[in-house]
Structure 1
């Protein structure tokens, strides 16, 4: 596969305008609404079917009592549905849509370099960064570390051949949310063993935009989608429908 590194001549200016920051916030809000919230609602509506769950009768009865103080059909339905819609379902959806995030939210930073998602001028040190984007602090495994390091090493080698300035400090993994203290051991290996930067959460967005408050503005902007995505009444209907199924009624007896 041919790896291309684009020279700096076409890169953006160092200072990001307020209009550009606002556009990123709008893009992120729209991406979340279309890619995450809408799919979340679709997945929630499927949960009227007991076959959607791998039901452990011992734990389910326990959790129903733990949650509501009884194990009637509605309580069992809640014990099954709440963890799915508030945890695994949307978390998985968020991670699998990271490439769409790159294309729809950060399209102006898109890269043609193999193994790189975005390229940007670091608003802190002024140098161009080649960045592979990840969603959260626990989203890679051992093999991913070697793959990332391999991509970065190839870029450095090619830059030398083409007489371009690309060093270890110019290659980084950017994580769109989280805190440095939450980084998994796999991410820490990228830094400790291979000496590439891992920038996460507020630091990543600060370096991208030059605005140290941008990360919190982004969280607030996406949070506004929740106001539009109020699923309270529909969720009550899903719970009631699941609770009416014979499998759930039998479990409560």
Structure 2
């Protein structure tokens, strides 16, 4: 993969987060988090959590203890999970394969051989039924290759997992591994791009997208709005 293609992946990732994640985070998650009715407040915990976090139980502190877990945890993880397939499509725009059942084809820098790759987002993003489907696709490609006298080995058919660590792979991926390689995270990106640190470069680029909208102000405004409602209800 050349430098132009690497840069394209970085730009694709940033575009995905701008279009699919950031605006929804602001207009959806933060807006909902600024309204008290969105919370199922435990009366035994909300002041305790505010004191634990800030050392006082003023309305702003209560609001901060409620808002931060919501906008930095559950809501963004749910939103990202729902858009995982869009991430795959966005990252590899322009790099698709014409082979049925294969997402991308590339030359692996570790062995110089062409790989036929099915892409998956994370270490827990396939289910039991996906195992058979993936293996059948790979078997079909190898059978077609033999028919056309092409040298395609078992190790040339791979599942590429975009993010995560080896130790996090689910049992479903491990079943696939009995037949074909599963390459995850940093190792996958190195094999694809030839850059050992590309995975972390990609993570940094995505993180920078939040700076474009000064998200810290959005969060503070959310806390302030909720604090006013808390003050009215609990004064």
TM-score category (smaller protein): 0.7 to 0.9
Aligned-residue CA RMSD in angstroms? 2.8
Q: 1:98 to 1:114 in 2, by over 3 A?
A: farther
After superposition, residues 37-76 of structure 1 pair within 5 angstroms as: 37-43=22-28, 44-76=30-62
Q: Which residue of 1 aligns with 2:196?
A: 212
Shift of residue 196 of structure 1?
Answer: 1.6
Residues of 1 paired with 2:121 and 2:108: CA distance?
19
Once the two structures are superposed, residues 145-185 of structure 1 have per-residue CA deviations (whole angstroms, 9 ceiling, x without a partner) of 34433433343344445554443312222122222123233
Three-state SS of the structure 1 residue aligned to 2:94 is: helix
2:66 maps to 1:80: yes
TM-score normalised according to structure 2 size: 0.82
2:7 maps to 1:22: yes
Asked whether the 8 Å contact 1:102–1:118 carries over to 2, the reply is no
Residues of 2 paired with 1:147 and 1:70: CA distance?
55
Residues of 2 paired with 1:138 and 1:59: CA distance?
32
Q: 1:174 to 1:74 in 2, by over 3 A?
A: same
Residues of 2 paired with 1:61 and 1:145: CA distance?
48
Q: 1:49 to 1:204 in 2, by over 3 A?
A: same
Asked whether the 8 Å contact 2:12–2:93 carries over to 1, the reply is no
Three-state SS of the structure 1 residue aligned to 2:183 is: strand
Shift of residue 129 of structure 1?
Answer: 1.9
Of the three residues 125, 134, 151, the one matched with 1:148 is 134
Q: Which residue of 2 aligns with 1:3?
A: none
Q: Which residue of 1 aligns with 2:205?
A: 221
Q: Which residue of 2 aligns with 1:110?
A: 96
- Number of residue pairs aligned between Structure 1 and Structure 2: 234
2:78 maps to 1:92: yes
Q: Which residue of 2 aligns with 1:242?
A: 226
Q: Which residue of 2 aligns with 1:187?
A: 173
Asked whether the 8 Å contact 1:73–1:249 carries over to 2, the reply is no
Q: Please, which runs of 5 or more residues in structure 2 have no aligned partner?
A: none
Residues of 2 paired with 1:80 and 1:114: CA distance?
48
Of the three residues 122, 128, 131, the one matched with 2:117 is 131
Residues of 2 paired with 1:146 and 1:70: CA distance?
55
Residues of 1 paired with 2:65 and 2:156: CA distance?
47
Q: 1:129 to 1:237 in 2, by over 3 A?
A: same
TM-score normalised according to structure 1 size: 0.77
Q: Which residue of 2 aligns with 1:199?
A: 183
Residues of 1 paired with 2:24 and 2:68: CA distance?
16
Asked whether the 8 Å contact 1:133–1:173 carries over to 2, the reply is yes
Q: 1:48 to 1:196 in 2, by over 3 A?
A: same
